[in-house]
Structure 1
Amino acid sequence: MHQFKELEIWKRSRLFCSQIYAITSKFPNDEKFGLTNQLRRASVSIPSNIAEGSSRNSNNDFARFLEIAIGSAYEIETQLLIALDLGFIKTDELEKSIIELNEIIKMISRFRSNLKI
C-alpha cells in the first residue's frame, strides 16, 4: 500500500485539476453542464484514481487505477482541443495545459512500470 499524499504523481495531478477549474471558469455559462463539467470531472478523476488505487492490496489493482487515470488524461486532452475549436481557450493556454498533462502521463506511466506486478 502506498501513501498517496506522498506521491508526486498525485500532488502534480491535484494541482493540474485546480488549473482546469481555473480554465473552465472562463467558459460560457451555457457550457456549465457540457464541456466544463466533463473537463472538471476528468481532471478530478486523475488524482482520485491514484488515491483510490493506492489503497488497494495488490500492485495489479493499483496499476489498473493508474491506467484509468491515464485514460482520464487523454480524455482531458481531447476536451481541451474541442474547447480550442470552440474558441473557449487560446492556443497558448492549450499548449501550456497539454505540456503539463503529458508530463503527468509520463510520470504515471513510469510509476506504473516500476510497480512490481
Structure 2
Amino acid sequence: MSVESYRDLKVWGKAMDLVVESYKLANQLPKTETYGLTNQIQRAAVSIPANSFRPTTYHLPPTTY
C-alpha cells in the first residue's frame, strides 16, 4: 500500500470521523452554549486532523540549545 496523500491514511479518516461525531455532540448542547462549549468542542475537533498532518515538504533548521 502506497501513501500518496494524507487522505490515504487510516488515522486521518478516523480523525475526520471524530470531527463529525464532535459536531453532532455539540449540536445537542443547549443554544446558550453556542459561543461557549459548542464552539470550543468544534474548534478542538477540527484542530486534530489539521495539525496532525501538516506538510513535511519543508525543513526547519535544527535548533541548538
Q: TM-score, normalization: structure 1?
A: 0.44
- Percent identical among aligned pairs is 30
TM-superposed deviation, 1:3: 1.4
| AA in 1 matched with 2:47 | S
Query: Aligned partners of 2:50 and 2:40: how far apart in 1?
Result: 15
Unpaired segments of 5 or more residues in structure 2? 61-65
Query: Aligned partners of 1:25 and 1:3: how far apart in 2?
Result: 31
Query: Aligned partners of 2:17 and 2:31: how far apart in 1?
Result: 24
Over the aligned positions, Cα root-mean-square deviation in angstroms equals: 1.9
State the partner residue of 2:15: 13
Q: Which has a greater percent of helix? A: 1
Query: Aligned partners of 2:27 and 2:51: how far apart in 1?
Result: 24
Unpaired segments of 5 or more residues in structure 1? 62-117
Deviation digits for residues 49-83 of structure 1 (CA, Å, limit 9, x no counterpart): 123x1x2226x87xxxxxxxxxxxxxxxxxxxxxx
Runs of 4+ in structure 1 over 2 Å off:
none
Count of matched residue positions in the alignment of Structure 1 and Structure 2? 57
TM-superposed deviation, 1:7: 1.0
- The question of whether the paired residues in 2 share the 8 Å contact of 1:13 and 1:46 is answered with yes
Alignment of 1:1-117 (within 5 A): 3-51=5-53, 53=54, 55-57=55-57
Deviation digits for residues 73-116 of structure 1 (CA, Å, limit 9, x no counterpart): xxxxxxxxxxxxxxxxxxxxxxxxxxxxxxxxxxxxxxxxxxxx
| AA in 1 matched with 2:12 | W
Determine which structure has more spread, i.e. the larger CA radius of gyration.
Answer: 2
TM-superposed deviation, 1:35: 0.5
